[in-house]
Structures are given as C-alpha cells and as structure tokens.
Amino acid sequence: MDKVKVGIIGCGKISGIYMENCLKFEILELKACADVDMSRAKAQAEQYGIPQVHTVDQLLEDPEIEIIINLTIPAAHAEISLRALEAGKHVYVEKPLAVTREEGQRVLELAKEKGLLVGSAPETFLGAGIQTALKLIDEGVIGRPVAATAFMMSRGHEHWHPDPEFYYAAGGGPMFDMGPYYLTALVQLLGPIDAVAGMTGMALAERKITSEKKAGQSIQVDIPTHVAGTLRFESGVIATMITSFDIFGGSELPPIEIYGTEGTLRVPDPNTFGGPVRYRKTGEQEWHEAELLAGYDQNTRGIGPADMAYAVRTGRAHRASGELAYHVLEAMWAFHDSSDAQRFYEMESTCSRPAPLPEGLAPYTLD
C-alpha cells in the first residue's frame, strides 16, 4: 500500500510526539512541517529528520501532501483546517475540532463539499486500555451498562506549562482541554450522547503563573474552571462527569467507571493509551485486572492520522472522525449552555460508535 504524505502545521510542545510516531507508522510519510515561528519549525525538523521546513502557505500549496496534521492552538484550529480543505487536503486536527459549534459545522460541511476527510484528536481511545475496556463491555463481563462516572480533577496548568494563558481563554478551561478525552472514551464505550445537564463555576478570576518561563505573571480567567453535570446516552446510560482546574489539594476519584447490571468496570485515564483495566463482578470483594489487548499501550499520538491514512487509501471509515469530534464539541458546549440556561440541553448531533481495532495487528499497522 502506498504511503500517504503528511505535513504538520504547528510545531509547539505537542508536535514532538506526533512527529516521533508519524515516523513509525508504515502508512505515513512525514514530509514537511511549518509554524508561524520558523525557528521552531526548523528545530523540530532537525530533531526528527523531517525533510522540509515550509511556511504555512508553502505547506498548504505543496501538491504532494495529502493530509495536514493541524497542531495549532485551539483558536486557530478552524481557520487552518478550512484553509487546508480549500487547498484540497484531508485534515487531522488536535482537539478540540474547533472552538465553536458554528466553526465545527463549517469544517465538516466544507469537507463534505470537497469530498475530503476530517479527523480529530483525541485518539487515545484507540489505545490498549480503552480498547480492552470496550471488549469487556461488548462481551458482557459487567452485564448491561446502566451508569457511569468520569472525573478530571486538576489544579490547572499554570504551575508547569510554559505558556498556560490559552487554557483560561475562549476554547480553554477544563472541559475544552480535557473533556475531549473523557467524552470521546465514553462515546467509544457507551455510544452517542442524547442530553446534557450542566453547572459551571470559577474559583479564581485571576491566576498567577509559577512555571519558570513566565513565573510571576498573571492570567485573567475568561472561562469556567469547574464544570459538572450529567449525561444521558442514547442507550439509556446515565453518566456523572466533573472536569475541574479548581482541585487545589488533589483527588483520588477514579477517571472513569462503568456500572453494569452484573458488575463494575474501572477504565484507565483516557489521556493515556495503556491500563490498568479492572473489573469486579456482583458479590465479589476483590478487583480483577484484565490482560490488556496487544496493541498501543504507550503514547501513540499519531495513530489517528495513521488510521485516516488507511481510510484515504482503502475507502473504509476512519475512527477518530470529524463527526465524532463534532459530537464531543457539541457536548462540551452543552454543559455550559445548560448551566447558563438552567435547563437540559438536547443534543442535535449524533455519531457512529467507532469500530474496535482489529486484534492481532503487526506493530504500527492498522489494517
């Protein structure tokens, strides 16, 4: 199968792991990278052996590149994705798909008009941890799922991230930063979401940066930093979810638990690719640790674009799809809208539950 040539736009902190893994998947050929800061693009190209460094315009105009991996900041996601689609490229974008639902809809509509594919992070649900949990659910190990919990409890990013300001601007906050991991995992495990009830809050109107690069500078907080609520899935499952940057003393709540008619399943952190995956049947006192499926249990960001590349070559559906990402984007906004309106939000979008990865694949292959 012919390799698919890809180019990366955005050479910030997250780009390194994408570049590293793009070089491993046999379907991908990482040809070029670009950034508004050319020195940053050149440094990444040198470190990862990327043949070409382009301006953004040059990369979009390169006729050989079929997929653009868009790793810009959230506020630029839609703009760069739309430009790439206009240039005739398939697009895989870091999460979220876009800042607003209107932008997300424009991206999907343009892709459909052009006959191109759109995909979006997170692709962590393709890791061995979530895939193992999915298999246990589908095999009925805990019976029929009836409820779930999901908790992302954090003190925020200003104590470690070199440039944390965007986490507290439009498109940031705990729901838009980490919610995609949790919601995408829940959709993979339980199917699409039907309705959302949410409440939001903000512990601090201003945050002080303590990470080394900008230590002492202040950040104005423009988005809720504590988002809590309930989701109803089309399957009837009811889930409770909290995402927060206001947990200053830490927490021991599990990332995700699924409660079934015959037991409970503990799902690993959806921001990781591995385990452990544990379950306990009705009446048992001890947890069983499931053997992880063979596959991707390390940080394998880049598996989403690789899966899309197979879809480009074969015509099959790709798993980290634009439709899935838009459904998650709408759900994230639903928490905020429900809180503002003080009423349930009925979801307008839906999506297909992504197909499990085939078992027994050779490393860094997906078909």
pLDDT band at 162 (very low <50, low <70, confident <90, very high): confident
Could you tell me the pLDDT band of residue 186, with boundaries at 50, 70 and 90? very high
CA count, 13 A, side-chain hemisphere, 64: 11
- pLDDT of 268: 97
Q: Which residues contact 130 (CB under 8 A, 6 or more apart)?
A: 124, 185, 188, 189, 267, 268, 270
In the block, tokens 């994408």 appear at 18
Which residues, at least 6 apart from 340, have a Cβ–Cβ distance to it below 8 Å?
none
- Residues 212-229 have pLDDT tens digits of 889 999 999 999 999 999
Rounded distance between C-alpha atoms, residue 43 and residue 158, angstroms? 25
Q: What is the rounded CA–CA span in Å between residue 101 and residue 282? A: 41
Residue 66 to residue 4: CA distance in whole angstroms? 7
Q: What is the mean pLDDT of residues 14-37?
A: 97
Give the separation between CA 105 and CA 101, rounded to whole angstroms: 6
Q: Report how far residue 16's alpha carbon sits from residue 8's, in angstroms, rounded to the nearest whole number.
A: 11
**With contact defined as beta carbons under 8 Å apart, do 68 and 84 qualify?**
yes
**CA-CA distance, 367 to 316, in Å (whole number)?**
10
In DSSP terms, which residues pair with 92 in a beta bridge?
69, 119
* Confidence label for 346 from pLDDT (cuts 50, 70 and 90): very high
Give the separation between CA 206 and CA 204, rounded to whole angstroms.
5
pLDDT at 106: 98
Confidence bin at 170 (pLDDT 50/70/90)? confident
Q: Whose CA is closest to 207, among 220, 216, 196? A: 220
pLDDT digits 0-9 by tens, 242-277: 999 999 999 999 999 999 999 999 999 999 999 899
Q: Report whether pLDDT(309) > 90.
A: yes
Q: Which amino acid is at 22?
A: C
Q: What is the pLDDT of residue 213?
A: 85
pLDDT-based confidence at 47, cuts 50/70/90?
A: very high
Which pLDDT does position 169 carry in this prediction?
A: 87
pLDDT of residue 166: 82
Q: Would you say 149 and 241 are in contact if contact means Cβ atoms under 8 Å apart?
A: yes
Residue 157 identity? H
The pLDDT value recorded for residue 76 is 94
pLDDT band at 120 (very low <50, low <70, confident <90, very high): very high
Q: Report the pLDDT value the prediction gives residue 308, as an integer from 0 to 100.
A: 98
Is the confidence at residue 171, as pLDDT, over 90?
no
> Quick one: what percent of the chain has pLDDT higher than 70?
100
Instruction: Provide the pLDDT for residue 13.
Output: 87
Question: What pLDDT does 197 receive?
Answer: 98
pLDDT digit string, tens, across residues 91-116: 999 999 999 999 999 999 999 999 99
Q: What integer is the mean pLDDT of 185-202?
A: 98
